[in-house]
Chain A
Amino acid sequence: MEMELAFSGWSGIFVLGLYGALMLGVGFYAFLRNRGMRESLDEYYLGGRGLGVMVLFFTFFATQYSGNTVIGYPPAAYRMGYHYLVSVPFFIMIIMVYLFFAPRLYALGRRFRLLTPVDWIDLRFRSKRVTVLAAILMLYGLANYLLEQFVAIGQGVSGLTGGTIPYQVGVIFFIVIMVAYSWLGGMRSVAWTDTIQGLALLFGVFTLLLGSLYYFGGPAGAAEQMQASAPEKLSPPEGPALMRWFSLLVLVGIGAAIYPHAVQRIFAARSEATLKRSFIRMAWMPFLTAGVVFMVGIIGIAAFPGLSTAESEQLVGIMANALANQHPFFYWAMVLLFGGVIAAIVSTADSVLLTFSSIISNDLYGRYIRPDASEYRKVLTGKLAGLVAVVILVLIAWYPPATLYQIFVLKFELLIQTAPALVLGLYWTRLSERAVFTGMLAGALLACLFTFLGYRPLGIYSGLWGLVLNLAICVGGTLLSGATEERRRHASEVIGFRY
């Protein structure tokens, strides 16, 4: 993700400074409001299981929509035309997939006071190897996800300020602020800042759309341009394009719904009603976010025809620059938009970091290393481990290794391998612990192997091949030799409900 906005050097610095101060202020406010918070895992990692509709909604919003939605999606729409309309339904798919496991997981979270997705896996299978493997896969995937956000923050900051702030300074500034407010207020400050960041982003994309419609014209001009130069961008996708549409719907739907930081938010809801209302809002958001940025990309086709692939990556920057020159209102709106983009990346990063720390605190340190430690100590360990991870990731972001680059791109490929344990375990008492472990391990190894070799049979993504193998082993292994009588009894106690 690259953007060049040479026009907004000092005003960019001003807006970024303002954002930073505001986020720190939120952290202090959360700290002062909840003095006892640092003593308890529940308080620190789940905001005391008390997030209301508005805040819960925006914190879900931050896990799904990042700066990349605004910067990366319009260029894709520019290049693919209406074939990229898939970006609207795929965000709706995420909520649909949630409905297949969230109701039950919420009920279990309340009953057993679950804190992390790994906590659930441990309760269900009571198996050290399954718990540890799931924790490692999640930590690894989350760390790489965080790395990606750090790189994006640096590029965004130096782009927004026209290089006035170097990449490294931008990264350090926002990471220090992010860690500070996370430490001060835990999940509360993360969720509150998500709310501010989400509002800034929404304001920015709407202004961008309205300005583009006003100055560059609507979709009719873009349609004329496409008819003349690339009519296939206007017609329904066929063959490989249709296959791509379909696999994006499936992949994004399943993938984004089972991100650990997304799953953990189910436990943070104040009540079932709160969670439901947040989900309903999320089901309509794709039209206001993905739909809006899609239209911006389409308008770009008429406004700036003939950009190469590399040039089109700068589309949002080009359009924002053009708008900013039209009117002072748009100048400041575009500065806010880019501030909002960076804020959105920070808000995705803080959620990931908090979940990362919680898995260390609760599932590794608190469960196996020092089960008798006080909650205060467990929280502290999670914070420090998160800090160490951040320092290592920043170093990797600055000195990217020349070889073995692929080990840093594995995210989704590994995270998705925990899905069978998370979801099948909710419904199937016979599901065997051995099959789950073998499937998860084999799926993860296959996904890694295919990624390293750059191997994509049938054009299907390596993570999905891993998942297919994983599921086959889980289901096949269980059918051949199901869980023991005692394990089944335990499972029935945990997932037994009256319907």
Chain B
Amino acid sequence: MPRLSEPVRKRRVWFGFIVLFALINPWYFPDGVSTTLILGVPLWALIVLAASLALSLFITWTVTTQWRTDSDERFAAPVHDRQHDGER
């Protein structure tokens, strides 16, 4: 049977996604908070942006470390002319 290690079966991935999803929704700012501006941008917006950056970072970590299959080795990809399809 092919081997598969995938994000959806990892508790830490679910935990991270739930926490970060909660943080990219701006529900947790106190009511009537006087809007603090930093270089003309509201502080709450910067916090949401920081949470979004954290989500991108977490996705990067998840893709890099929590996802691994043996499908390429097992079901060999067709041999290709590598020069001509844009690989860098």
Contact = CB atoms under 8 A, between A and B. Distances in A.
Interface stretch (A13-21, A137-145, A271-279, A386-394): A271-279
B42 A235 contact: yes
Interface residues of B, number: 55
A107 B2 contact: yes
Nearest to B49: A88
Interface in B3-29: 3-9, 13, 17, 21, 24-27, 29
Contacts of A273: 72
A55 B72 contact: no
B86 A52 contact: yes
B40 A498 contact: no
A283 B56 contact: yes
B85 A276 contact: no
Nearest to B45: A82
A103 B4 contact: yes
A242 B25 contact: yes
Contacts of B53: 287
Contacts of A238: 31
A50 B59 contact: no
A120 B80 CA distance: 24
Contact of A222 (B40, B71, B84): B40
Contact of A92 (B52, B75, B80): B52
Task: Kindly name the residue among B40, B69, B86 whose own CB sees the greatest number of chain A CB atoms within 10 A.
Answer: B86
B71 A111 contact: yes
Contacts of B67: 99, 103, 276
A45 interface: no
Contact of B52 (A88, A427, A496): A88
A237 B42 CA distance: 12
Interface string A438-462: 0000000000000000000000000
A107 B41 CA distance: 44
A492 to B, nearest CB: 10
A344 to B, nearest CB: 19
A82 B35 CA distance: 12
A270 B40 contact: no
A106 B69 contact: yes
A271 B13 CA distance: 23
Given A54-B86, A88-B49, A99-B8, A107 B71 contact: yes
Contacts of B64: 276, 280
Given A106-B71, A111-B74, A219 B39 contact: yes
A51 B25 CA distance: 35
A279 B58 CA distance: 12
A223 B40 CA distance: 6
Contacts of A279: 59, 63
A49 B78 contact: yes
Interface of B: 1-9, 13, 17, 21, 24-27, 29, 31, 33, 35, 37, 39-42, 44-45, 48-49, 51-53, 55-56, 59-60, 62-64, 67, 69, 71-72, 74-75, 77-78, 80-82, 84-88
Top 8 closest pairs, chain A to chain B, by CB: A220-B40, A52-B87, A219-B40, A55-B86, A497-B4, A50-B80, A110-B71, A107-B71
